[in-house]
Amino acid sequence: MTANTRKPGRPRQADNAQDAKTALLLAASKLFAARGADAVSVREVAEAAGVSPAMINYYFRNKKGLMRAVLERGLDRVLAVVAEVAGQHDEPVTAAFIDHYIRALNADPSLPQLMVREVLSGNPSYQKVIAERFVRKAIEMMPPRIAEDITAGQLRRDLDPRLTMLSLVGMCVFPFIAAPLLRPVLGYEFNDAFADQLVAHTTQLFNEGAKGTAAKGTAAKGTAAKGSATKGTAAEKDDD
């Protein structure tokens, strides 16, 4: 917004101002998550951070280096949630996972979007970062805990821990991935009430299944639709 035309040269050490490096990291995190790294120019990131584009190359060497830093920051935050869930033994991991994971994504839906987009990007160097910094560690933590719960008799004995984890993550993550599509059609919005509803539904479906004949009573009540589903967002120009 503010043109912020600063002259060249090292700035006077202002104690309050965050340094340019973290400013770039924060700005890029938001922009990359929202629209994808490819669709955001370095000039745009620099402007949002209030510094010149050359700072990206100074601190991160590349646009790719900036992207990598953004990715690593995001991955570490999601991994912390997984570690917390896997570390507790008060309840079945699967239940704790559904609860904490959905609420974490609800608090910041941009995280799974960033991950999924870069997984799909086909860029092997990003995939490697995600695989080694997140997936590998998550797989070391969760399936063994699921296996524990199976042994303890809290889950069916014939479950495959890894496929189960795959289904579990899918159920939790997909609503957030599909959100941009479903919001206008189903009319749902991200708020604490929605998270509560989604957690309750997912927990019960995962635990009891869809076929169970006796309704246990703890299912999510009411439908997700609330707003006007037919209103539609203001149609933008057909061609641009």
Partner DNA sequence: CGTTAAATTAATCAATTGTTTAATTAATAT
Partner DNA sequence: ATATTAATTAAACAATTGATTAATTTAACG
User: Which residues of the chain form contacts with DNA (CB under 7 A)?
Assistant: 5-13, 19-21, 40-44, 50-58, 62-64
CA distance 110 to 200: 22
Contact status: 141 vs its own copies (CB under 8 A)? no
Q: Which span (48-56, 57-65, 79-87, 100-108) binds its own copies, by CB under 8 A?
A: 57-65
Q: How far is the CB of 14 from its own copies (least distance, A)?
A: 33
User: What x-and-dash track marks residues 23-42 binding its own copies by CB under 8 A?
Assistant: -----------xxx-xx---
Decide which of its own copies, DNA, none touches 51; Cβ closer than 5 to 8 Å per partner kind.
Answer: DNA
- Backbone dihedral region of 191: left (phi > 0), alpha (psi from -120 to 50 degrees) or beta? beta
Nearest approach, Cβ of 153 to DNA (angstroms)?
54
Nearest distance in Å: CB 210, its own copies = 5
Tell me the closest approach of the beta carbon of residue 66 to its own copies, in angstroms: 13
Q: Which does 201 bind (CB under 5 to 8 A by kind): its own copies, DNA, none?
A: its own copies
In this chain, which stretch among 6-14, 43-51, 80-88, 162-170 interacts with its own copies, using CB under 8 A? 162-170
The DSSP line for 142-211 is HHHHHHHHHHTTSS-TT--HHHHHHHHHHHHHHHHHSHHHHHHHH----SHHHHHHHHHHHHHHHHH-S-
Tell me which amino acid residue 192 is: D
Q: How far is CA 165 from CA 13, 108, 128, 133, 137, in A?
A: 49, 22, 21, 18, 13
Regarding 136 and contact with its own copies (CB under 8 A), the answer is yes
| Token reading at 161 | 């821990």
